[in-house]
Chain A
Amino acid sequence: MLDPQQLEAKFYELSRTFHPDFYQTKSTAEQSISLGNAAVLNTAYRTLRDPIQRAEYLLGLEAGSVKDIRTSPPADLFEEILELQDTLDEYRASDRESDESRRLHTTLQTEQERLEQHKQEMETQLHRLFSDWDALQDAGEATADARVKRDQLLKQMRNLLSNRTYVNNIVNDLTATIA
């Protein structure tokens, strides 16, 4: 299981080992090695700390090993996004002083809040997926069952990240328009 506190402690420990400051009196070769190590360590820490980045990295690693990691598009979400896009267009074309415009603004604001909440839920869900993933890694079983479970988890992560991109885009558009 990836323990955030342990991750942080380990990061600081290794930072002290690799930090370029401690190599200032050493040879250029050693300095450049320490700099390289420190950079890798920073990236690794940032990646593991953030579930979104961790999932992206993991999926990149596993892209070749999982068959059909890409799944069918979420039709309901797409309908929702396209509908919202229409409402956004209506709002953009409306006279800001009119009642209709104010009504649209309220609708869009409600949608924005709902989608922000949806984003939060997706992050919670990603945390949950990683708990399952870590548990599976800890169990270390090479059974067919474990393999299926593993692929399922990766697929769910892939879906989640994709949906997050779609939601992010429309939220950004909403924010920019009604701000």
Chain B
Amino acid sequence: MAYSDKVVDHFNNPRNMGSFKKDEEGVGTGMVGAPECGDVMKLQIKVQNDTIVDAKFKTFGCGSAIASSSLATEWLKGKTIEEAQKIKNTDIVQELNLPPVKIHCSVLAEDAIKAALSDYQKKTDSPQADGK
């Protein structure tokens, strides 16, 4: 099975690889894994005034999983929380032209986005994390 050009591009030049400090203000962390294949994905967002100003990821897994999370961070930047909620795994499948056997990689990326958003919301909702 051959990877699409876009997957290869993201794999060779991953965007936004790295991480933020978890307890940094405005940072939401999503950590997800696929027990079937053992892929691990960490996706983080940095939020200011309800807008995602930066996003980073670290993925240990196949090329499609890396490409899916790399693309996800690109899409997240500049989006509001509400817009980010709407990113669907099918959007990722379409953009990267993922074959059926690799659809679970895009699901993982969507789960990671959701997890990061909910972590951010949990942090901002709890009073001690407010910091101001």
Contacts and interface: CB of A to CB of B under 8 A. Distances in A.
A125 interface: no
Taking chain B's interface residues, is the majority helix, strand, or loop, or is none over half, making it mixed? Answer: strand
Nearest to A88: B60
Contacts of B32: 73
Nearest to A85: B60
A85 B65 CA distance: 15
A169 B61 CA distance: 9
Contact of B35 (A81, A86, A161): A161
Nearest to B39: A169
Given A78-B40, A168-B38, A73 B58 contact: no
A72 to B, nearest CB: 9
B60 A169 contact: yes
Nearest to A73: B33
A91 B58 CA distance: 17
Q: Interface size bucket, B side? A: 10 to 19
A75 interface: yes
B46 interface: no
Q: Interface size bucket, A side? A: 10 to 19
A82 B60 contact: yes
A119 to B, nearest CB: 13
A156 interface: no
B33 A85 contact: no
B64 to A, nearest CB: 15
B42 A82 contact: yes
B60 A170 contact: yes
Given A78-B42, A81-B60, A85-B58, A165 B36 contact: yes
Interface string A132-175: 00000000000000000000000000100110011011100000
Nearest to B61: A169
B37 interface: yes
Nearest to B19: A82
A162 B35 contact: yes
Given A74-B33, A78-B42, A81-B40, 4 more contacts: A70-B35, A75-B31, A165-B35, A169-B38
Interface of B: 31-33, 35-40, 42, 58, 60
